[in-house]
Structure 1
Amino acid sequence: MLCYKRILFINPIFLVTILILLVGCTQVYSSKGDRSKDFENCVSQCSSSTCPERKIPLIRRLLQWSCENECEYECMHEITAKAKESGGEILQYHGKWPFYRMWGMQEPASVLFSALNGYMHYQYISVFRRQVADGYYMKKFYVAYCCVGVNAWIWSVIYHSRDFVFTERMDYFSAGFAVLYSLYTTALRVFHIRKTFPLASWTFICLVAYTLHVSYLLSGTFDYTYNMTANVVVASINNAIWLYWTILHLNKRPDDAWKPAAVGALLSLFLSLELFDFPPIWGVFDAHSLWHLSTIPIIPFWYNFLLVDAEREDHRERKGKKTMK
């Protein structure tokens, strides 16, 4: 009973953290930095004196850095350097901290950590194919789960490399799909959805929900608050289902039934990094990049649980079929 209380205490942290983020996070269409007269004057003078004669390195041209973008980058760091010297406030520009780019990438730390997250998902594609029995019903869904994760982190890499409307939308839509697909597979696993009609119905509901979600976000001005709310609701439902499973199986499987609850607790704890937003350390590591760093070890922890769970479930189902015969 004490274990149940601990689990019930841990998981609401996820909801509380998300709610605080939801209240505190609004999309920044323009920031204090790029609205400042010093920045505007600096960019104007730079553009008029250096464009269009300036030669931009090939790698940055491939990433769509224009002469005006170069001026904005230089002015941003020039103003930031002065602020540091005078003890002034370090400002954000276009919703981002003044990062030092690398090879044209705007947020190199987030790019690196996103790539590592994607790699963790990628390497488990072959692991699930190799270690999970072909006859186990969830195998194909878990392989797809890994692929969905790879796709989401690829778009995170692209978005953090260069922030455009298209790359931002693809990052958000891919992340949203990953959250929804996680709920989709959770329901299949926990509620043992196997028969054709329930499976088709659940698949249809999820596809329609995602289609309506994307359609609404593309129908007009992008609603960042709604997008955050939708992902919070889906993630919370997913977390609640696994908590339900944990409570039911804690006595039956004390060695690993706690792991889904632990994953929820760790994610909520690490997500709280976003609450303590701060200017990037050394111009590279901000709270968001550290959040991406923290999720890397959670992926193998979670997938290893699913692998052991798949082996146990497959054995249980095979044993059940033999008993029926």
Structure 2
Amino acid sequence: MIMKWVAVLLISLCTVGIEASPGDRSIWYQECTQICINRYNCSRTFGTFDWVRGDCFWCRYECMWETTEHFESNFGKVPQFHGKWPFLAIPLPFGFIIQEPASVIFSLLNLFTVYKMLQRFKRMKDLPNRTMWLIYAHVGMFTWISSTLFHMFDCDITEKMDYFGAYTFVLSAFYVSLVFTSPQLQYSLIGRRLIKLMQLLFIGVFLKHFKDMATHFDYGYNMFCCITFSLCATALYAHHLYRRKINLGSLQEPDILLMRLIIWANLATGLELLDFVPVFWIFDSHSLFHLATIPIPIWWADFLDITYDLDSTVDRKSTILKIA
């Protein structure tokens, strides 16, 4: 049953971004946006920056809603446009627009909680692998800045920033899971060399992915990598908790926090499967996914803080080796 759910998740998420969008392919939308191109000298490709601000955006925005009305009256359904549902847009000064208000607000809140997590990491002077956690938090900052920009004005540049940011964050989380669940590697020469080898391997994987995506931006492949790395990290943490249960006889307070983290993160990802028409033309499944991830960085800081406090009463090295 679990494998069936995983298969459905992978197939569903890997098709996001590669499915045809009936709205932008319709004759109503194409004829309407052609008028925009002629009237305001807009670009003929929709991924350029001029389509996310000023007259070009608002003209296309009207085309989107007119096409939506045609679809609802003729087919009884709401179409997607360029891989997204229609959203109410909010005008900003200097001709800029917030295209997806809920996702922008929730991305900013994620940025805030990652920033708070970073500040707490900086105060944990004796945190094991502190540099790794600091880098992880900085990657998260970039990820949520990219997400905010993408949902504020969706064009080719911000879209690539969002996808690369998400990939880098997930890859970093996978590396963190490997190091965290194998603390014994830090206390032998062979283990430290293995960590160095893993770092080089992860850098190589990232550079190859960046090169492949720069050559051909494959949405499905990028999402497949993200989901695969997330599932691998989940498996590592689940095995870590299982070992803790066997070695200690019961799960301790840090283990309960870690379990909450992993379950919540996977349930949040599952929200992406819902894919419904936005409620009030503002809240869609993707924005709810961003809403659900807001507390996760704070929980990571809580988890590490509590783990540190538990270990501070005894010799840290022997405790870590015992737990592993």
The TM-score with structure 1 as length reference comes to: 0.82
1:225 corresponding residue in structure 2: 220
C-alpha displacement of 1:12? 6.6
Task: Give the match for residue 32 of structure 1.
Answer: 22
SS, match of residue 137 in structure 2:
helix
Alignment identity in percent? 29
What value does the CA root-mean-square deviation take over the aligned residues? 2.8
> Number of residue pairs matched?
300
Task: Output the CA distance in 2 between the equivalents of 1:223 and 1:63.
Answer: 22
8 A contact 2:51–2:57 mirrored in 1: no
| Counterpart mapping for 1:178-257 below 5 A | 178-192=169-183, 193-194=185-186, 195=189, 196-219=192-215, 221-250=216-245, 251-257=249-255
Q: 1:320 to 1:129 in 2, by over 3 A?
A: same
For residues 33-81 of structure 1, give each alpha carbon's deviation from its aligned partner in whole angstroms, at most 9, with x where no partner exists. 1111122222334554x536xxxxxxxx999525333221111123334
- Determine if contact 1:246/1:257 at 8 Å carries over to the other structure: yes
Q: Which amino acid aligns with 1:152?
A: T
Alignment of 1:87-166 (within 5 A): 88-102=76-90, 103=92, 104-130=97-123, 132=124, 134-166=125-157
In structure 2, relative to structure 1, the CA distance for the partners of 1:19 and 1:306 (3 Å cut) is same
User: Mind listing any 5+ residue stretches in structure 2 that lack a counterpart?
Assistant: 42-48, 320-324
Mapping for residues 34-113 of structure 1, pairs under 5 Å: 34-48=24-38, 50-51=39-40, 64-65=52-53, 67-81=55-69, 83=71, 88-102=76-90, 103=92, 104-113=97-106
CA distance in 2, matches of 1:180, 1:316: 33
Contact 1:47–1:67 (Cα < 8 Å) also in 2: no
For residues 315 and 146 of structure 1, the distance between their equivalents in structure 2, rounded to whole angstroms, comes to 27
CA contact (8 A) 1:107 1:284 kept: yes
Deviation at 1:126, TM superposition (A): 1.6
* C-alpha contact 1:158 1:167 (8 A) present in aligned 2: yes
Normalising by structure 2, we get a TM-score of: 0.82
Q: Post-superposition shift, 1:25?
A: 3.0
Unaligned runs of 5+ in 1: 1-8, 53-60
State the alpha-carbon separation in 2 of the partners of residues 184 and 273 from structure 1.
24
